Structure 1
Amino acid sequence: MAQTFDGKVAAITGGASGIGLATAEALLAQGAKVVLVDRDADALGALSERHGARCIAQVTDLLDRDSCDAMVPEILDKAGRIDILHCNAGTYIGGDLAETDPATIDRMLNLNVNAVMKNVHAVIPHMSARGSGDIMVTCSVAGHAAIPWEPVYSGSKWAITCFVQTMRRQLLGKGIRVGQVSPGPVVSALLADWPAERLQRAKDEGALIEPSEVADAVVFALSRPRNVTIRDMVVLPSAFDI
């Protein structure tokens, strides 16, 4: 039997747009209280006003060390507990490695990998003390295949796949489930670096999915009975690899 979200508290990074916002809205619709974590204070304010008291704004810049470190304590001050942590924030670089620069590489790895590890590290004591919790990470199909036009992004997602699967084993005995969702291309701002002709072709061929379709997979995984862990869900547009 699926688990209810009534009274649960979910914290979602990158919550002001895309997959994060779609997941937040899906959980709100099922009775959860949601803490939207993002650096865009204006967007968070508008979303909190739209969704009401069960939608809490948490302004955090995950690339700022002090702000990132303060995230979990500040969420606990506002919401009292964290039942679900969805590490969703991320960024994208496509193209040949020679065409990017070290600062851009650092930014991607800090957000896609380091911030995820630090957020999980920060929430473990709280969830362990309660003997229960769910950690969900937005990964990518690029974390399962070597995508030649996005070596930095693909490398970051391979790192996350390894991290999630090792933490799933480490935290099982503490009552904490850890899993990931690995979408194919999603209609979002992250595709802005795609070559224009490739993006248009993907749209024309139906090779993109909507954030809400990824959110459906996240909610399904989180709603399983506690004796069931969905370790990874690969969610692809049907025309992705035709």
Structure 2
Amino acid sequence: MTFFSKKIKQDDETQRNGARLITFTEPKNIISEQFRTVKTNIEFAGAALDKLQVVMFTSAEISDGKSTVAANIAITWAQAGKSVLLVDADLRRPTAHSTFDIPNTRGLTSILASDMQPKDLVRETFVPNLSVLQAGPVPPNPAELLGSKRMTALVNWMRNNYDMVVLDVPPVMAVTDAQVMFKLVDGIVLVTTIGKTLKANLKRTVETISLTDAKVLGCVERVKDKSNDAGYGYGYGYGYE
């Protein structure tokens, strides 16, 4: 697989307007079928694990499309009949509240910084079988909250209440938030954008993950044309060659 060097440009569209839920709005679209194929491949990759229940979606850089991929893969699991919880753990650039049109006055940060209970903040969505936990107010110490014992307890609660948990976390190269959560998940999916994601950053991301016990399930490659997403692919090439 080939990755092109290009100056990183921050794209705030998803943060402003939410992710495009094409798997829900256009289930027969070819991109929706690609997302279902990605879901199946993630399950195949996780078959060798003791369990595949909590899956982290991250990227090397910002604006690689991880939130869009995480939300749509969560929907495909929900459409397959599983009870799914999508957690917006990107406390710096949250998107789930915009995607599902819910207030972000309370959420994950409220649980981690107080004695609020998840059952009181998790919301059902317009997608059957899919619930969401929005990020909540942006805290001054995101990494400390995500690496806390309370976060560990929260993930255990999620395991006991949902078939699948999808964690949307910040890019690995940008901040340490994702790294402090590696130990909590069963597998990690990396999202890249062809023609944007820098090969060196992707390689460093894989190397960072390899220093832990975390399992990389694969890489979702996002292709964009001038107007919108043009397609998604899945594989194990990380741009080393």
Which structure's residues are more often helix, by fraction? 1
Q: Which has the higher contact order (CA 8 A, sep 6+)?
A: 2
Give the number of the structure whose alpha-carbon radius of gyration is greater.
Answer: 1
| TM superposition score normalised by structure 1 | 0.45
With normalisation by structure 2, the TM-score equals 0.46
